[in-house]
Amino acid sequence: MFRNQPTDNASERVRQQFEIAHTGVDFGAALCFLIGSIMFFWQSWMFTATWFFVIGSVLFALKPTIKLWREVRLYRMSQGK
């Protein structure tokens, strides 16, 4: 996204940390959607299933936020801040 990003060990560590966070959010969202989908088989679980879908959607919305946060952090590191 930004140019002149640092390529030292510190920036690589930042990339790895954000990649782990991104993957964790991905798994969390997928798990919420899977659980919510299974709950929809029973009428008594519909309300709870809906909340699982809402939580999964919030997690999916976090994914681009995590990537943007990583890019901004790396950009600031390249500027010496």
Domain ranges across the chain: 9-76
pLDDT of amino acid 79: 87
Helix H, strand E, coil C: the string for the chain is: CCCCCCCCHHHHHHHHHHHHHHHHHHHHHHHHHHHHHHHCCCHHHHHHHHHHHHHHHHHHHHHHHHHHHHHHHHHHHHCCC
Neighbour tally for 71: CB within 10 Å: 14
Distance CA 75, CA 81 (A): 9
pLDDT given at position 19 = 95
Q: What is the mean pLDDT of each run of 10 residues along the chain (81 residues)?
A: 62 93 96 97 97 97 95 89 55
Q: Kindly report the CA angle at 79 between 76 and 81, in degrees rounded to 5?
A: 60
pLDDT of residue 8: 80
Q: What pLDDT score does 33 carry?
A: 97
**Predicted structure pTM score:** 0.77
